[in-house]
Structure 1
Amino acid sequence: MHENSSYERPSRNPRDLRRSNRDERDRSPEIDEDITGKELDREASRQLGTLTDVNRKWVAKHLIMAGRLLEIDPQLAFEHALAASRRGGRLAVVREAVGLAAYAAGDYAEALRELRTYRRISGDNTHLAVMADCLRGVGKPDKAVELTQEPEAQRLTGSARAELAMVLSGAYLDQDDTEAALKALEVPELDINRAYPFSPRLFAAYAEVLHTLGRTDEAEKWRARVSVAEKALGTGAFEDPEILDFDDEDEEPATPRLKDVLPQKPDSDKGRTWH
């Protein structure tokens, strides 16, 4: 033992910059009573299988809570994801959940850090658009543009490419380069006769840039297709209202699985067509 007995071993790795490992972190949020942790999909459960029984249950429950709250209370969802990270921070699925929850909560620096780690661990490039948008969020549109030019980004197709195009267009607008912003949106998925889940937003973004450039007739044409696409998809103004039945109080609440929480890989890019 060293003679200097005043030395104290640090309680955590000082190189670990995760929010979940900071000394000032809050205590873990409460778990809803109906959460069992068994709601996870097969792939997430497989990853959590490397943890001890106690840690596996802890991480699973907090991941499910993060998903349940993501759209209702993003900040609380983020706290649940951080709680999962304290015991499962080496798992790709956990870092992905933390990154996406941080993004939803508006903590772009934390989201970027976590999604970079997720990308390194998993080799998955699905969230490049979110990462680029985080760079915009921290005031680095030039870095966002650089990210979209990486070879992995250039190989994206379908919804992933469309999402990246919208972020890239926004980054060019941040730099006052409207012509480049318009060109960025002109991807194969910008099809006026086909509606994908992202089409209303893509059409609206394209119409807005056209309007900024003074091409008003074209802008109106694309703006009109937004509602057409929403009607075809049953979204936006054409989405069925949620009906709550307060008579069935004993019915078990539906709990999302993790695959319902995290954005799905773009394995289905079939849109609806019209003439």
Structure 2
Amino acid sequence: MANQLKGLPEKLAARVARHLVAAGQLVDDDPETAYQHTLAARARAPRLAVVREAAGEAAYAAGHYAEALADLRAAKRMNGATDYLPIMADCHRALGQPEQAVKLAHSPSVANFASPAKAEMTIVEAGARRDMGQLDAALRVLEQAPLMSKSRESWVVRLRYAYADTLEAAGRPTEALMWFHRTDAIDADELTDAAARAVLLEKAQDQSGG
């Protein structure tokens, strides 16, 4: 951030930096206030990629999807970064544009993503396929991901949960139950409600069997 702010007058750079730091501190707990800080920074330095990136991420966190998409597109034009593509794709989903989300998911740069970003894009694409009523295609997308990775990182948890959820939506409760259990087995931080979903499926199976 400091490098990009160097081109601004000292006092202006300090003011913009304060807004960006505040946004970073608030975005998880108070995304709307974080977004307002990024808007203040953007008003003062609209041509800096770091500012547009922060504005886009805060807008996304606050649920302002059209604004997030606009700012992240601007940041991408400025610095050529592709890190924002999963968020941009999810914005398209939220705006009722699943076809655009799928299109972004097939961007050539996705192949070079690190595992967490690649997993996020996979989840977004699968969700977009579901939005279009393409459950089988959504399952195929998820099945191409490393669902059986030995990693216990959050991206594996999220992949497994998305797969279990899609299996249930596709009317395959036995397989869904297995994958909810596999999700819960590595979800030490309780990022998902996989355990509760498994209990509900087990109860449903007991009732149907009884």
- Whether TM-score is above 0.5 comes out as yes
| Residue 92 (structure 2) pairs with residue 138 (structure 1) | no
Could you give the per-residue CA deviations for residues 219-270 of structure 1, whole angstroms, max 9, x where no partner exists? 1111012221122xxx127xxxxxxxxxxxxxxxxxxxxxxxxxxxxxxxxx
Partner of 2:202: none
Give the length in aligned residue pairs: 192
Partner of 1:88: 45
Q: What is the identity, as a one-letter code, of the residue corresponding to 1:222?
A: W
CA contact (8 A) 2:65 2:94 kept: yes
| Residue 158 (structure 2) pairs with residue 201 (structure 1) | yes
- Provide the C-alpha distance between the structure 2 equivalents of 1:196 and 1:186, rounded to a whole number of angstroms: 18
Q: Return closer, same or farther for 1:130/1:199 CA change in 2, 3 Å cut-off.
A: same
Counterpart of 2:106 (choices 149, 167, 170) is: 149
- Provide the C-alpha distance between the structure 2 equivalents of 1:192 and 1:149, rounded to a whole number of angstroms: 22
Q: Residues 1-275 of structure 1 correspond to what in structure 2 (within 5 A)?
A: 44-191=1-148, 193-231=150-188, 235-236=189-190
Uncovered stretches (5+) of structure 1, i.e. residues with no partner: 1-43, 238-275
Structure with a larger share of its residues in helix: 2
RMSD: 1.6
User: Which structure carries more relative contact order (alpha carbon 8 Å, separation 6+)?
Assistant: 1
- Provide the C-alpha distance between the structure 1 equivalents of 2:123 and 2:145, rounded to a whole number of angstroms: 13
- Provide the C-alpha distance between the structure 1 equivalents of 2:25 and 2:182, rounded to a whole number of angstroms: 33
Q: What is the identity, as a one-letter code, of the residue corresponding to 1:110?
A: E
Secondary structure of 1:189's counterpart equals: coil
Shift of 1:91: 1.1
TM-score, normalised to structure 1's length? Answer: 0.67
TM-score, normalised to structure 2's length? Answer: 0.86
- Provide the C-alpha distance between the structure 2 equivalents of 1:183 and 1:155, rounded to a whole number of angstroms: 20
Shift of 1:192: 5.0
Partner of 1:263: none
- Provide the C-alpha distance between the structure 2 equivalents of 1:187 and 1:60, rounded to a whole number of angstroms: 41
Uncovered stretches (5+) of structure 2, i.e. residues with no partner: 192-210
Moved over 4 A (4+): none
Shift of 1:185: 1.4
Q: Return closer, same or farther for 1:222/1:193 CA change in 2, 3 Å cut-off.
A: farther
- Provide the C-alpha distance between the structure 2 equivalents of 1:181 and 1:125, rounded to a whole number of angstroms: 23
Larger radius of gyration: 1
